[in-house]
Amino acid sequence: GENVEQHPSTLSVQEGDSAVIKCTYSDSASNYFPWYKQELGKRPQLIIDIRSNVGEKKDQRIAVTLNKTAKHFSLHITETQPEDSAVYFCAASKIQGAQKLVFGQGTRLTINP
Amino acid sequence: DARVTQTPRHKVTEMGQEVTMRCQPILGHNTVFWYRQTMMQGLELLAYFRNRAPLDDSGMPKDRFSAEMPDATLATLKIQPSEPRDSAVYFCASGLVVTGPNYGYTFGSGTRLTVV
């Protein structure tokens, strides 16, 4: 089955700097890769996703890149703000078939003022 | 704004007691997941349903856990008997899956279970 590895487990950056979180997946048939943000005590919320037919997707300060050959994808947050502090989870799934989400272990991002 | 509703939000119970958690998926969604979140294990998939049929429950300890979807508006996760190691936050998520692109899943607010 699918296995998703996420790094780093914790990340601390200065406000205004960029943050990058990386994930690798094992199943080459996976073709849908969402990212979820979970604030303390709250539910995970979808912030951006990418399908395997594109290499990059942007939404304001966040972007996701995908390298299908290497089976890895990354979340990039630019101009970080205190409200970006949270745990971020990557996940992998297939668009056809079972479509279950397999999550990475999460990255705790802290933005220092 | 459509929401996935989970009840109860918090549950404290004694070891050996039965626990039932409920989830009301977003109206029209045909896929429901149960995830368990602990500090050590992240988000573990326990079971999921498509059109109320169980697709995979391999992540669930079969001897004590059971998941059902008696109708399209209700999914349940039951633990009997509960143990302290079951203490975690249990999330339900729902989504609409058709033959084509996945439009993302929405999580409920979770049930925080403490077994003492």
A34-50 pLDDT, tens digit per residue, is: 999 999 999 999 999 99
pLDDT of residue B6: 98
Mutation to test the B interface, candidates A39, A100, A103, A105, most B Cβ within 10 Å: A100
Band of the pLDDT at B101, cuts 50, 70, 90?
low
Residue B109: closest C-alpha in chain A: A43
- pLDDT score, position B94: 92
pLDDT score recorded for residue B99: 58
From chain A, the residues in CB contact with B99 under 8 A are 96
| Among the listed residues B18, B29, B110, B10, the one whose alpha carbon sits nearest the alpha carbon of residue B69 | B29
Tell me if chain A has a CB within 8 Å of the CB of B25. Answer: no
> Closest Cα of chain B to A16: distance in Å?
28
Contacts of B40 in chain A (CB under 8 A): none
Residue of B37, B55, B99, B112 best to disrupt the A interface, most CBs of A under 10 A: B37
Residues of A with CB under 8 A from a CB of B: 32, 34, 36, 42-46, 49, 51, 89, 93, 95-96, 98-106
Write out pLDDT tens, residues A38-89.
999 999 999 999 988 889 999 999 999 999 999 999 999 999 999 999 999 9
User: B104, A43: Cβ pair inside 8 Å?
Assistant: no
Question: Residue A78's pLDDT is what?
Answer: 97
| pLDDT value at residue A19 | 98
Mean pLDDT of the region B87-115:
86
**Mean local confidence (pLDDT), A6-16:** 97
- CB proximity B97 to A under 8 Å: yes
**Contact, B64 vs B20, CB < 8 A?**
no
Q: Distance between terminal CA atoms of chain B?
A: 36
What integer best gives the mean pLDDT of chain B? Answer: 91
The residue to which tokens 């037919």 are assigned: A53
Task: Considering only residues A94 and B29, tell me which one the structure prediction assigns the higher pLDDT.
Answer: B29
Across the interface, whether the CB atoms of A42 and B109 are under 8 A apart is answered: yes
Please give the C-alpha separations between residue B82 and each of A96, B38, B40, B68, B115, in angstroms, as whole numbers: 36, 16, 19, 17, 7
User: What would the two tokens of residue B66 be?
Assistant: 């059971």
Q: Does residue A92 carry a pLDDT above 70?
A: yes
Of B42, B43, B97, nearest to A99 by CB-CB distance is B97
**Is the bond into B101 cis (omega within 30 degrees of 0)?**
no
- pLDDT at position B103: 62
Question: What does the pLDDT read at residue B76?
Answer: 97
| Nearest CA distance, B86 vs chain A (angstrom) | 18
User: Among the ranges A51-55, A95-99, B87-91, which has the highest mean pLDDT value?
Assistant: B87-91
Residue range B3-30: average pLDDT? 96
What pLDDT was estimated at residue B58? 86
pLDDT digits (tens, 9 = 90+) for B18-62: 999 999 999 989 899 999 999 766 899 999 999 999 988 888 988
Higher pLDDT, B105 or A97: B105
Element (H, E) at A11: strand A10-14
Q: Cβ contact (<8 Å) for A100 and B55?
A: yes
pLDDT at A1: 82
How confident is the model at residue A62, as a pLDDT? 98
